[in-house]
Structure 1
Amino acid sequence: MCFGNVADYDHYLIKPSKAVDKQLIIKEWDNVQRIMASLALKTTTQSTVVRKLSTVKKTNPTLKALIALDEIVMTDYILGYIDSLEDRRAVQKALNRGESYHQLSSAIAKTNGGKMINGKNEIELDINAECIRLTANIIIHHNATILSGLYQHYKALNPEKAKEIIRWSPVAWKFVNLIGNYEFYKKDKDLDIQEVIRLLIENSKSDFGLKSSSTD
């Protein structure tokens, strides 16, 4: 998208495909703002807006203005993504975290011969899926708590090590025995996570399997 004549960009490596209809956006700006305000104030939901816009004709001026505005935002984002190494790294980290989470969920699901992905009906399948998600989140929370404790410890004593810990991912499970039956209930005695952190620091084994998966 561009605000001028498309032909003016012929000498650029990255060329816009079409020009923005500025007058349409200006004309429909009040309607666009009302929709945005409703979403921001949570007086309506995205699904409701999408459903209503889906029922109007493609030639509807408000719909066309929203699409044009979205194309401007997307163009700005893509150009910023191309120019900014920091943005590209941030996106890659997010993709890596998402991929790691799916790998963890898959590892849990395949445990015990894949029993956790089986079910006789939709309700059982939903319960199994939620159990997989809960187990994955428990592992990540456990790891994140340990990493946070290690970071706080080394932040003053060894800043370089603290910086390295920031790069470690909490989505790691090599040290977890996933085989067995999972029972979710409150035990009489909770795991003393602070004691685990203390022992890791004492034994200088701060990787604890967590370093195996970096956020980069």
Structure 2
Amino acid sequence: MRARLVSIASRYNYSSDLGALFGAIDGQKFAAATPTAKARHSRKYFGRERGVVAFTSLTNHVATLTNLIGAHEHENHYVFDLCYHNTTDIAPTIITGDMHSINKMNFAAMYWFEMDFAPRFTNLQAQLKHLFCGDDIEQYDNFLIKPAGQIDLLAICDDPCVFEQIIASLSVKEMSQQALVRKLCALSPRHRTRRAVFEFDKLVRSIYTLRYMRDPQLQRNVHRSQNRIEAYHALRGFIAEVSGRKHLIGKTDHDIAINNECGRLLANVVTAFNSVLLRRDLSQ
């Protein structure tokens, strides 16, 4: 019995890497018992009903923060906001996510605020088209892995004030990441601000992609971190189904947000209780 508990503990240990604290982000769909302004249609997940997405940040097994967004909105527009607004004492050093968490500025934004962004790639071969180099691309003709293009370093270094203004706006929370992404995408592809941000994102993403391909341990840690948030979603979905259906109750968006927070609190209580039981059994 003790050997079995030790096996379980090693399988669900709190730290994937003793040198880093991994946090995971992902969204979970919930139907809205009463349609609200934020609840939107999604035939794939809700059928004829409407619902919302609970975008959650999980550090090891602890859900530190959750935010409700519309089912029609892109999750990658809220990655930085969710991580930067974490006011708990648990501060992850590496943030993992799935392919839905990637866009053309998340690597850059997380780098600016000293947070390592480590998404899980489902297809490494497909990531080769996102590899870029800073030098002349012809130098890599004899390499096994060839870059898809060259980064415009002049666009990055031409005007450092562009980055300083964006970083200042995000740090003082005058602008959300969602608003910033919309403004950048509305600009012309040749606009210097948009080009500088997107080119810098290519640089950071290329460095991470090469690390991810060369480091099997990093791949295992990222996979384990994402598997943990999937396990949390299973627990969170079971809690929501206690009333009979997997939905959030409330007549307004504020009521639904409170119901979602209550579910997160209950999930953390269950996780803490199970951890206490497991620790007690292992210490005997």
1:112-123 equivalences under 5 Å are 112-114=243-245, 117=247, 119=249, 121-122=251-252
**1:83 shift after superposition:** 1.2
Q: Write 1 or 2 for the structure with the bigger share of strand.
A: 2
**1:121 shift after superposition:** 4.3
**1:26 shift after superposition:** 1.3
Aligned residues of 2:185 and 2:194 also touching (Cα < 8 A) = no
Identity across matched positions, percent: 31
- Could you tell me the TM-score, scaled by structure 1's length? 0.59
Q: Report the RMSD for the aligned CA atoms in angstroms.
A: 2.8
- Could you tell me the TM-score, scaled by structure 2's length? 0.46
**1:117 shift after superposition:** 2.0
Q: Tell me how far apart the structure 2 counterparts of residues 47 and 69 of structure 1 sit (CA, whole Å).
A: 19
Secondary structure in 1 aligned to 2:147? coil
**Pair 1:13-2:144 in alignment:** yes
Q: Tell me how far apart the structure 2 counterparts of residues 70 and 118 of structure 1 sit (CA, whole Å).
A: 36
Superposed CA offset, 1:119-159 (max 9, x none): 57455655543433232122123234555xx3xxxxxxxxx
Secondary structure in 2 aligned to 1:106? helix
In terms of Rg, which structure is larger?
A: 1
Q: How many residues align?
A: 152
Q: Read off the aligned partner of 2:224 and give its amino acid letter.
A: K
Q: Write 1 or 2 for the structure with the bigger share of helix.
A: 1
The aligned counterpart of 2:260 is 129
**Pair 1:143-2:274 in alignment:** yes
1:1-216 equivalences under 5 Å are 1-42=132-173, 44-114=175-245, 117=247, 119=249, 121-122=251-252, 125-146=256-277, 150=279, 197=280, 200=281, 204=284
Give unmatched runs, 5+ long, in structure 1. Answer: 151-196, 205-216
Q: Tell me how far apart the structure 2 counterparts of residues 30 and 146 of structure 1 sit (CA, whole Å).
A: 54
Aligned residues of 2:250 and 2:259 also touching (Cα < 8 A) = no
Superposed CA offset, 1:93-134 (max 9, x none): 1111111011111222233532x6265745565554343323
Secondary structure in 2 aligned to 1:110? helix
Deviates more, 1:121-130 or 1:22-31: 121-130
Q: Tell me how far apart the structure 2 counterparts of residues 56 and 3 of structure 1 sit (CA, whole Å).
A: 25
Residue 12 and residue 134 in structure 1: after superposition, are their counterparts in 2 closer, same or farther (change >3 A)? same
Q: Tell me how far apart the structure 2 counterparts of residues 6 and 29 of structure 1 sit (CA, whole Å).
A: 25
Q: Tell me how far apart the structure 1 counterparts of residues 174 and 260 of structure 2 sit (CA, whole Å).
A: 31
Q: Which has the higher contact order (CA 8 A, sep 6+)?
A: 2
Residue 87 and residue 121 in structure 1: after superposition, are their counterparts in 2 closer, same or farther (change >3 A)? same
Q: Tell me how far apart the structure 2 counterparts of residues 96 and 81 of structure 1 sit (CA, whole Å).
A: 17
Residue 7 and residue 119 in structure 1: after superposition, are their counterparts in 2 closer, same or farther (change >3 A)? same
Q: Tell me how far apart the structure 2 counterparts of residues 129 and 14 of structure 1 sit (CA, whole Å).
A: 45
Residue 59 and residue 145 in structure 1: after superposition, are their counterparts in 2 closer, same or farther (change >3 A)? farther
Give unmatched runs, 5+ long, in structure 2. Answer: 1-131
Aligned residues of 1:117 and 1:129 also touching (Cα < 8 A) = no
